[in-house]
């Protein structure tokens, strides 16, 4: 049905256009009912025609069978009278009958009877003398093949066999009956007792008239059915239009009138009971929707006031990750217009997609959301929002300017966590950071490196050049460290001339290279014309063989002692075989 309707619309494009046949309820119902009725009627007509054809052909077959049996009975009577020549004339007369295409009397071998002397000789021999005269001219004709299936069935079963064929010249249908001529007691005097079937009749009738009757009946059925179908469709169309289409069209006009195109429109409750119920339900629904809309609009106004008046930037996306909302504070903090933010996309708020993606990922929620952007320190809270099925419905970011707070925080942190002489992290901050980074590395399976070093022969240096000069050297080393390590690393003054560095997420090779560069940089450093060298111990987690941040620091300390023991001014990595040794 659907396939037919789609083909109908392709053939008649106007049917699918607005206000076209298929665009209106009455037209749709008429087409659906019409197509269903026509398909059903065609199927019924085909079935009736087929049954009628079968009945006509069966009746015709019975008539031909009766003719065949009557011919067999007449031939039997003629043959019992001993008038074989009359039988031949009887056959010729039958061939001239209307609709008889062919009539033959056949022997057991399929050849036509009464054309040769074979049977006459056998009969004369059995009776003695020349009871029946021989034919002067013989003409043997093979009508059916000796191995013909129809001939075999007739001779073995003694029953008639119908054959439907096609006239090779005219193309008209033919019905052929191959029927037996039973052998009776009266026949045995001439023909003997061995054969239950004396001969075979082959009668072929033309079915042209029968076919013509079938076609005529078929056209009558189709024509009458078409009239009935048209009448039924007309009645159905009028009934549907009166009872359903007209009330619906009146309702549609009310709903589509411009002045009624609001949630406050009311449909008159008129017409039949079903339409009154529909109108009543619609009116109740619009009343509820209107109330809900008023509430929603009030909440929308509140939310608009909060979002647009907020000093914090707000950016929200939809399901397709397209930016759907940008408040003025976000434009001000990011230094971008709303159109630019929408065009660049959510992940480009800070021109750093990786940073924004990390903030949105749940497993990265511990990463700090601080970024220096547009000459401001911005704190960002971002997340991807999911529905009840776990599907993402959008992302949201809240941006806050924490430049002043960050400056005050940094100042306080600096005062509490930095060494007064060098400006590096102090021992207190080092101990806290080492525990934090060790726990983090262990929790997430990360690598953590620790460098521990001190100035070679620093006590002798102080004795020779004074403590003030020693302090200036320590400040110089601190400057080298600040320029050498990353922002995520922790360069610290551990105490006296000892320094240490915590390097998160850095493998042994990276820590080793960094340590060697640091050693070389300090060796090249000149402070007031003086130079110093350092010995550096390196330890990596995992790899110390023991648990805990203290064990990691102890491993670095052992590596430092080993570097001093091996001649100083070098980098030594911890291995499990290192043992403790006294310092100078």
**3-state class of 1 per DSSP?**
coil
Identify whether 542 is preceded by a cis peptide bond (ω within 30 of 0): yes
Catalytic residue among 497, 498, 516, 523: 497
Q: CA distances (Å), 496 to each of 415, 435, 552, in order?
A: 19, 22, 21
497 is catalytic: yes
- The token pair at 319 is 């399901």
C-alpha to C-alpha distance for 166 and 530, rounded to whole angstroms: 126
C-alpha to C-alpha distance for 521 and 470, rounded to whole angstroms: 18
C-alpha to C-alpha distance for 316 and 396, rounded to whole angstroms: 4
Q: How many CB atoms lie within 10 A of CB 181?
A: 21
Query: How, if at all, do strands 571-573 and 534-541 pair?
Result: parallel
- The token pair at 78 is 């003629």
Angle at 523 between CA 520 and CA 529, to 5 degrees: 150
Decide if 176 contacts 204 (C-beta within 8 A): yes
Decide if 197 contacts 180 (C-beta within 8 A): yes
Contacts of 293 (CB under 8 A, 6+ apart): 263
Angle at 55 between CA 201 and CA 97, to 5 degrees: 40
Contacts of 36 (CB under 8 A, 6+ apart): 1
- Side-chain-side CA neighbours of residue 259 (13 Å): 0
C-alpha to C-alpha distance for 414 and 19, rounded to whole angstroms: 78
Contacts of 166 (CB under 8 A, 6+ apart): 172, 173, 174
Catalytic residues: 497
């Amino acid at each position: 049905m659907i396939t037919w309707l789609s083909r109908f619309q392709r053939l008649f494009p106007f049917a699918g256009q607005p206000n076209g046949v298929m665009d209106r309820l009455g037209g749709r119902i008429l087409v659906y009912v019409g197509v269903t009725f026509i398909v059903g009627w065609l199927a019924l007509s085909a079935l009736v025609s087929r049954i009628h054809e079968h009945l006509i052909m069966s009746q015709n077959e019975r008539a031909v069978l009766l003719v065949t049996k009557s011919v067999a009975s007449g031939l039997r009577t003629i043959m019992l009278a001993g008038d074989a020549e009359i039988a031949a004339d009887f056959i010729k007369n039958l061939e001239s009958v209307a609709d008889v295409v062919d009539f033959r009397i056949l022997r057991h071998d399929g050849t036509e009877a009464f054309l040769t002397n074979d049977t006459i000789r056998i009969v004369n021999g059995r009776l003695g003398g020349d009871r029946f005269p021989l034919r002067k001219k013989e003409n043997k004709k093979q009508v059916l093949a000796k191995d013909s299936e129809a001939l075999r069935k007739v001779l073995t079963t003694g029953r008639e066999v119908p054959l439907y064929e096609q006239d090779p010249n005219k193309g008209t249908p033919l019905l052929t009956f191959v029927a037996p001529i039973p052998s009776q007691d009266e026949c045995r005097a001439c023909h003997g007792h061995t054969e239950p079937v004396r001969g075979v009749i082959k009668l072929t009738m033309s079915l042209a008239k029968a076919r013509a009757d079938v076609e005529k009946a078929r056209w009558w059925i189709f024509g009458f059915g078409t009239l009935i179908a048209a009448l039924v469709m007309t009645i159905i169309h009028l009934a549907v239009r009166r009872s359903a289409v007209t009330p619906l069209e009146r309702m549609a006009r009310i709903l589509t009138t411009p002045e009624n195109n609001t949630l406050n429109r009311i449909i008159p409750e008129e017409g039949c009971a079903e339409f009154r119920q529909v109108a009543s339900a619609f009116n109740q629904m619009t009343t509820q929707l209107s109330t809900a809309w008023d509430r929603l609009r009030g909440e929308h106004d509140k939310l608009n006031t909060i979002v647009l008046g907020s000093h914090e930037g707000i950016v929200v996306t939809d399901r397709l990750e397209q930016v759907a909302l940008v408040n003025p504070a976000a434009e001000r903090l990011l230094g971008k217009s709303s159109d630019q933010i929408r065009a660049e996309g959510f992940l480009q708020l800070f021109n750093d997609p990786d940073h924004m993606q990390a903030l949105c990922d749940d497993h990265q929620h511990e990463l700090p959301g601080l970024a220096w952007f547009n000459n401001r320190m911005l704190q960002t809270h971002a997340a991807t929002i999911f529905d009840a099925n776990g599907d993402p419905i959008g992302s949201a970011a809240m941006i806050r300017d924490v430049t002043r707070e960050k400056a005050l925080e940094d100042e306080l942190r600096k005062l509490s966590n930095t060494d007064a002489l060098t400006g590096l992290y102090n021992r207190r901050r080092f101990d806290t950071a080492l525990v934090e980074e060790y726990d983090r590395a262990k929790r997430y399976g990360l690598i953590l490196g620790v460098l521990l070093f001190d100035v070679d022969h620093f006590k002798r240096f102080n004795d020779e050049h004074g403590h003030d000069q020693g302090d200036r050297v320590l400040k110089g080393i601190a400057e080298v460290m600040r320029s050498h390590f990353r922002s995520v690393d922790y360069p610290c003054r551990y105490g006296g001339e000892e320094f240490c560095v915590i390097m998160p997420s850095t493998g042994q090779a990276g820590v080793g290279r960094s340590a060697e560069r640091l050693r070389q940089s300090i060796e090249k450093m000149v402070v007031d014309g003086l130079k110093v060298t350092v010995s550096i111990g390196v330890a990596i987690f995992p790899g110390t063989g023991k648990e805990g941040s203290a064990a990691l620091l102890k491993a670095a300390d052992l590596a430092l002692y080993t570097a001093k023991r091996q001649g100083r001014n070098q980098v030594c990595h911890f291995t499990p075989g290192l043992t403790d040794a006294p310092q100078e």
